[in-house]
Structures are given as C-alpha cells and as structure tokens.
Structure 1
C-alpha cells in the first residue's frame, strides 16, 4: 500500500513571525529615508516658489513702471507664514487693500520649514522692493541686495545646512537659488550687498 503525502499549505507560525520581523526591520530603516527624501523635494519646491514670486514681482515692476513689493502675510513679519506680491500704486511702501494691485499670494510653508532673511527682508516689517527698472531697492532708494534662507527646522548641524536653500537677490534685482553646502562660498554666501554673478 502506498502512502501519499498531502502537500502542505500556507506557512508555519515560525515562518510567518520571521517574515514579519524582517518586513518590520526593513520598514523601520526605509521610512526615515523616504521622509527625508520627500521633505528635501518639498524644500526645493518651497524655495522655487519663493524664487518665482520674486521674479514675478520684478517683472511686474518693469512692466508696470511702478514699484512692486513682496511682504510677509503675517503681521509679525514671518516669511514662513506666507507672502504677497503687489504693485505699490499709492507709493506708501506697504500693502493697502483696495488701492494696491495684489499680484499673488502664497500660503504658509510647512511647519518643519523656516524662511529667514537679511537686510530689508528681516526685522518687524520685512520687505523686498523692486523699482520700475527692476533693481532691488530699500525704502530709502538705496540698492537692496539681500538673501533669504529656506531651511528645515526639524534637523540641526551639518544636516540642517544640507537641508537649506538660499535665495540670493542681487542689487540688479536678479535672483537665484543655491545650496550653501554644495556651492562654493563665493557663489552661495549670504551677503549684505549681493552682486550679480550671472
């Protein structure tokens, strides 16, 4: 008499536990990398959006022949809460609803990003101003080159520098984005009087 073995079906409990342990370990290693990748992409998008707003303001100033400005939406002067671009029709150097022409408005960046500036883009009433020729200016009509940093605030040290994008506006009004960690200091330094290197 022949004995036929019934083919086994499914997994044993041990095999299932080993498989789940391996899957959990791989997931624990992969999730931080995926999160860092996604936030890095979001950082690049946020700095590109800011650059687009700056270029829009400059082009609108040249096109309209009037001063155009960027200001934070937040009354406390935080760029991280979003910004507006407007034509300063009444020339009072601040946004006046109903009088000035609002070009665009950008909402707040994600909570794990911080946007900080120097020169006219810092303080309690920060701004970026372009005159009718497209030059970056101060409210006192001096040249106003400046720098804005878009950086992650949930990391620190060398990793924060790696997760920083710098928007540099030259006195001529030309703007660009660079990575301070990978670019040379001469090309991506935060300058009080940014020159046009392009």
Structure 2
C-alpha cells in the first residue's frame, strides 16, 4: 500500500505541546535574567552619560581658560537633566546669551534618583572646574571630593543598593565611576 505524502508531514499534538512547554520553561528562566541585564544597562548608560558631561566640562574649562560648570537643568535637582556651560562673564551662573552652553541633557527616566555630596548637594547644586581642570567651589580655590550617587527607585531597597553607581570627582578634577557594592574604594568620603 502506498502512503500519502501529507500523512507524514507536521507535528503530532503531543509533540507540539511538549515543544511549547519546553519553550515556556526556557523563557521563564531567561526573563528575570534579561530584566536584570536591561536594568543594569540603563543604569550604566545614565552613569556614563553624566560622567561624560562632567569630563566635557573639565575639558572645556581647560580649553577656554575659563570656569566651566555642570548644573541641573532646573537648577535644583539632578533628575531634571543637566547642562554644561562655560562661564564667560565669571558670575558663577548660567547667563543665556553670554555664557556658552556646551551641552544640554534631558531628564533621565523617572525611576532614577541622582543625589550628591558637597557642591553637588547644595540647594543650587553644581560641579565646577577652573582653567587648570581642578574641581573648585564657588568662592574658594578647591574642594573635597564630590560624589554623585545614581540609583533606581523602581526596585526594592536591597536591589537599589545592589545596583547603585557613583561618580567621584576628586579635587584634582579626575573623575571615575564605580559600584559601591563591588568596589570597597567607592565611598562618598574619599581623600584622593
């Protein structure tokens, strides 16, 4: 007896159900890992963007021979975004039309919190560099290390602490980012 070609093609119902079940188990295992990867990627991206802006301000200060600043876009909160400008009139504040706006960054997603120490935590926070590239305080020649902490607010407290990133600006102007959870030198009270 001759068999029909069509009777031998395809999957049986049992084979299809088993395949779908295996795929579902694999996705259930991979999904949490992917979410963690995505969260880490978003946090790292924001940290690198802010670090890049700080380094841009330092470079502009040395290039132009004038003080350069990184300030929150709304002048009070880092989570509103931030601007980098060169202070052409030496008034320690952004003056539209006079100062040079080098970079303007939009607010990060609402689930990020950015807090700072020293100048970066003032009622009008800022990060400033002089013409030699040294971090400076308004009305003073230098400052102690300044730290910005970036963390997520859409996760549990323990997960937020696990995923926190810091940007440290040394008085010499050197900047770096680190993870406090895995780097014991990543503190808000460094002396370098």
TM-score between the two structures when normalised by the length of structure 2: 0.88
Distance, in Å, in 1 between the alignment partners of 2:100 and 2:66 is 11
Distance, in Å, in 2 between the alignment partners of 1:179 and 1:99 is 38
- The offset of 1:143, in angstroms, is 2.3
Distance, in Å, in 2 between the alignment partners of 1:190 and 1:158 is 19
Partner deviation per Cα, 1:41-62 (whole Å, 9 max, x = no partner): 2222221221111111112112
The count of residues paired between Structure 1 and Structure 2 equals: 189
Q: Tell me the equivalent position of 2:29.
A: 29
Partner deviation per Cα, 1:132-162 (whole Å, 9 max, x = no partner): 2222122121523210012222223442233
Cα RMSD (Å) = 1.9
Q: Tell me the equivalent position of 2:183.
A: 183
1:1-198 aligned at under 5 Å gives the runs 3-4=1-2, 7-75=7-75, 77-144=76-143, 145-184=145-184, 187-191=185-189, 194-196=190-192
TM-score between the two structures when normalised by the length of structure 1: 0.85
- The offset of 1:38, in angstroms, is 2.2
Distance, in Å, in 2 between the alignment partners of 1:94 and 1:13 is 71
Distance, in Å, in 1 between the alignment partners of 2:122 and 2:159 is 27
Name stretches of at least 5 consecutive residues in structure 2 with no aligned partner: none
Distance, in Å, in 2 between the alignment partners of 1:130 and 1:71 is 12
Is residue 84–residue 105 contact of structure 1 (8 Å, CA) maintained in 2? yes
Partner deviation per Cα, 1:160-183 (whole Å, 9 max, x = no partner): 233121100111111111111111
Distance, in Å, in 1 between the alignment partners of 2:88 and 2:156 is 42
Distance, in Å, in 2 between the alignment partners of 1:62 and 1:98 is 21
